[in-house]
Structure 1
Amino acid sequence: MSRYRPGLTRPALLAMILALAGPAMAAERLGLGQSLTPAQLVTWDIDVDAAGHGLPPGSGSVAQGQRVYAQTCAACHGDRGQGNPADALVGGRGSLATAKPLKTIGSFWPYATTVFDFINRAMPYNAPKSLTADEVYAVTAYLLHLNGIVAADAVLDAVSLPKVRMPNRDGFIGDTRPDTSNVACRHCPAPPPSQ
């Protein structure tokens, strides 16, 4: 830790470190668990950020997505993303400022890449992470098409998906509360550049 936070005493910090390290040390001492191999770790290193960093190779079209959606998504989200029993994925544009906003991919989500990320890691509900990268690109393309964001002939991949501009891209604002920002300490020297 390079910064000392007022109010957090050194004994409290030591106690916190021991509390966090204790279970790991106990597991090692007792022979519980195992270290992940690089190959195992790769299967869980799937995060995709707003800029598209982390998108895997592959591609998918709207037409392919319609087929995958019908097989794996429609039972929960409706045949055209209207929802029921699970959340609606389509519609709601212009409703966010109303008394009953409908938060969908087309009305609420600011980045198409995070739609991909969510589908990739959490869907379908009964079998998360079971879709291939091509299927996730395809379902993402289909849902973006249903929301009027991409054309019927769109094909998405790691290059084209980050370029998709979502209708609510500018609808999110920075949170200026002091407990939500990561501002460098004004009393400490700037950290050295990472190498």
Structure 2
Amino acid sequence: MLVNTIKPFLLAAASATFLATVPHTDPGTVSFETRRTDTLHYPERFGFGKPVSAEKIAAIDIDVRPDGKGLPAGKGNAVIGKQIYAVKCSACHGASGTEGPNDRLVLGDTTSAKNRRVKTIGNYWPYATTVFDYVRRAMPFNQPGSLTDEEVYSLTAYLLHANGLISEKTELNASTLPKIVMPAKKYFVPDDREDGPVVK
């Protein structure tokens, strides 16, 4: 019992002695002057990057909103789009947009349960303008950004026509494209929860 009593006493005494030897300063005047010396002599700037012109920014600032804001001038239709598709798109998506080997673009026959589960432009995409936006910036796969605006309008028209959403002769432009109502739009509803995603 005596040993157990002495140990805490000695520990307390040692702690008090240590605290007494540590220099105390006013909390309001504490300073940290232990900066390391710059022995490598780093420059203020490393010279990465360079000023970008408005012209170069405009070349990549090409996003298109659901309401059509951002759509360029030009026009196209499915007749012309079909010809462009055969040359620049069919190798990846198939002759009619259903064969692949890459993503299926056209729903095709909906009588089978298998086809109804496939997500395509015709049964899943909520906005027609997204077709234009994606094709212009990302297609064709081997040369993204190489299509003219009129080619993109025509390809968009062909894909919408192939999905049964517009007629073959419908002319698409910055005014008519945003007015097309996609079948899946009603399934994308705003989420009004403050801490949730914008769309659910």
Contact in 2 for aligned 1:62/1:139 (Cα 8 Å): yes
Q: Which residue of 2 aligns with 1:167?
A: 183
Q: Which residue of 2 aligns with 1:72?
A: 88
Q: Which residue of 1 aligns with 2:31?
A: none
Q: Which residue of 1 aligns with 2:134?
A: 118
Instruction: Output the CA distance in 1 between the equivalents of 2:156 and 2:115.
Output: 28
Instruction: Output the CA distance in 1 between the equivalents of 2:43 and 2:80.
Output: 46
Cα RMSD after superposing both structures: 2.6
Instruction: Output the CA distance in 2 between the equivalents of 1:48 and 1:177.
Output: 26
Instruction: Assess, with a 3 A threshold, how the Cα gap between structure 1 residues 144 and 37 changes in structure 2: closer, same or farther.
Output: same
Contact in 1 for aligned 2:107/2:163 (Cα 8 Å): yes
Contact in 2 for aligned 1:62/1:138 (Cα 8 Å): yes
Contact in 1 for aligned 2:77/2:169 (Cα 8 Å): yes
Q: Which residue of 1 aligns with 2:66?
A: 50
Structure 2 residue corresponding to 1:145, chosen from 151, 161, 168? 161
Listed one character per residue, the Cα deviations across residues 20-79 of structure 1 (whole Å, up to 9, x for unaligned) are xxxxxx998111221210011110010001111000011111111001111111000001
> Tell me, which stretches of 5 or more residues in structure 2 are unaligned?
1-41
Matches within 5 A, 1:1-195: 29-91=45-107, 101-180=117-196
Contact in 2 for aligned 1:109/1:169 (Cα 8 Å): yes
Larger Rg belongs to: 2
Contact in 1 for aligned 2:109/2:115 (Cα 8 Å): no
Aligned-pair CA distance for 1:111? 0.7
TM-score, scaled relative to structure 2: 0.71
Listed one character per residue, the Cα deviations across residues 168-194 of structure 1 (whole Å, up to 9, x for unaligned) are 110112234543357xxxxxxxxxxxx
Instruction: Output the CA distance in 1 between the equivalents of 2:87 and 2:110.
Output: 30
Instruction: Output the CA distance in 2 between the equivalents of 1:135 and 1:103.
Output: 24
Listed one character per residue, the Cα deviations across residues 72-120 of structure 1 (whole Å, up to 9, x for unaligned) are 110000011104111110016879x989721000000111001111111
Listed one character per residue, the Cα deviations across residues 99-149 of structure 1 (whole Å, up to 9, x for unaligned) are 972100000011100111111111111111111100000000000000000
Instruction: Output the CA distance in 2 between the equivalents of 1:124 and 1:63.
Output: 19
Paired residues in the alignment total 156
> Tell me, which stretches of 5 or more residues in structure 1 are unaligned?
1-25, 183-195
Instruction: Assess, with a 3 A threshold, how the Cα gap between structure 1 residues 27 and 42 changes in structure 2: closer, same or farther.
Output: farther
Contact in 2 for aligned 1:92/1:106 (Cα 8 Å): no
